Amino acid sequence: MALTERQAFRLSLAVVAAATLARALVAAHLGLGDAEAFYWCYARHLAAGYLEHPPGIAVLLRASTCLFGDGPLAVRLPGVLSSATATLALAVLAARRAGWPAGLATTLAATLAPALYAGGLSASPDPPFAAAWCLMLLAADVALARARAAPPRPGPRTPVSPSAALSPAPVPTLPLLAAGLALGVAFELKHFAVFALAAVAFLAATDPTTRRLARRPAFLGAAVLAVLAAVPHVAWNAARGWPTVLNRFVWQQGAAGFSPLNLLRLAGGQLGYLSPLLYVALLAVLVRLWRAAPRDEPLFSFAVWPLGLAYLVALWTPRAEPHWPLVGTYALFAAAGPAWVAARDRPRWRRFGVAAAALAAVLIAALHVLVLTDAAAGLYADPRHDLSNELRGWDAVAGRVRALRAPGEPVVSYHYTMCAQLEYALREDVRCLSPDRTDDFDLWGAGALPPGARAFLFVGDNRYDQPPGALYPWARCGAPLESFGVIRAGRAVRTFRLWRCIV
């Protein structure tokens, strides 16, 4: 039975509400992952930039934790709410093209995509970036639609009636300014926002409406808003010799170079992040956008250019991550709903879409089993490959540190993820002494012992397996004071060791 517009709209809201509640319940019962703890440290040490990211995630986490405390749900709340915002924006984009049945299909696709669902559980820049990016897409779409609906401006020799002279063609000023501001906010969350510039340039070259808007003062105002929002991070980098650029393109890329293998790794990661069938379905949506007549230029441009640029970067860098191309898939999710509605008379496509959604739902269920239970704890030959292990054990580590440390004794670790987890578990500054790398702890002054320190308590584990005596030849560390493991399903999946070192 076909759904009415009202029914599809209400079901879309219900799906978003249910997913938001489910994410919140899970987020409240999981310890922080390594990256999440690191972003919490960002929030403790506010700055206009960091080696990996702009400051947007730090500002959001600082606001959330100031209002609601430092519990896991408070830390993850910006991600939970941002995911709901991004999904609703994509649903509205789909509904503007083919009604709310299309909006509902997009809502389900964006909710069931494992990468987007899991991202909405995390305290990372990706969910708020997705929200800002999708709001930019929506505002730009509204601006273009209003410009197309407006009567054409008369030429210099075209007679103008008195009524037309008194009622000039409206300019979609507010949507344009909103799009510019959203783009600037997106840049302050992830650098991939610059990919929008290529998409806009393509639109200006191929779409007459975009060219007309580009000549209007409101378009310049949107550009100014985007630039002003990006200024703090750019100025921070310029004042320090561009550490973010150096970190991304030099320090982390010792083996950089053109390599098709990098691209294959990234594509393989996409199959897992989005689920194989959903990944194929989105590629089919991209082909449909390409072949459509008239082509949906905004969604096509904001899909193909970010995707192409993300994969181009992956061809060069050996540290490409599977979530990078997500920036180009948001427009495809918005186009997926209309594609589903258009395929109502093509049962094979419908069956494929249902299978893609079902497989994605199974993968999300498996994700819950992985992180909430110990049922899968013994599946990995090497427990270090099970990322869910990093969510556990840190409260016990904090308890042993408090019991063993001397008054005023600094706590030290080696890797920035260890240092971040310790800092969150202890809720105090930790010294991160990494002699072979520069990290953000160095930037905010925690990359060295405090002046006058004569001893420190070092926390290590078997994942990095770096004893302090080898790391710090200038200190006497001896044998570990204590060693204890994280046990899951009767198996030690991680072992922590604590040393006292004398300077």
As a whole number, mean pLDDT of residues 319-340 equals: 89
Between 48 and 260, the higher pLDDT residue: 48
Between 319 and 199, the higher pLDDT residue: 199
pLDDT at position 363 is: 92
Q: Give the DSSP H or E segment for 227.
A: helix 217-239
pLDDT at position 270 is: 73
pLDDT of residue 164 exceeding 50, the answer is no
As a whole number, mean pLDDT of residues 76-81 equals: 97
Q: Identify the top-confidence range among 206-215, 323-332, 411-420.
A: 411-420
pTM of the model: 0.93
pLDDT at position 381 is: 67
pLDDT band at 157 (very low <50, low <70, confident <90, very high): low
Summarize pLDDT for 15-46 with one digit per residue, the tens: 999 999 999 999 999 999 999 999 999 999 99
Q: Number of H helices and number of E strands within the chain? A: 21, 5
pLDDT of residue 161 exceeding 60, the answer is no
- Cβ pair 336, 325 in contact under 8 A: no
| b/e 171-193 (16+ beta carbons within 10 angstroms → b) | bbbebbbbbbbbbbbbbbbbbbb
- Find the distance separating the first CA and the last CA of the chain, reported in whole Å: 75
pLDDT at position 139 is: 97
Summarize pLDDT for 330-360 with one digit per residue, the tens: 999 999 999 999 998 899 999 999 999 999 9
Q: List the one residue out of 295, 153, 294 whose CA is nearest residue 211.
A: 153
Q: Mean pLDDT in the chain?
A: 89
pLDDT of residue 2 exceeding 90, the answer is no
Backbone angles phi, psi at 407, to 5 degrees: -55, 130
Between 393 and 253, the higher pLDDT residue: 393
As a whole number, mean pLDDT of residues 86-109 equals: 97
Summarize pLDDT for 222-281 with one digit per residue, the tens: 999 999 999 999 999 999 998 888 887 777 665 556 667 777 767 777 777 888 999 999
Summarize pLDDT for 123-138 with one digit per residue, the tens: 999 999 999 999 999 9
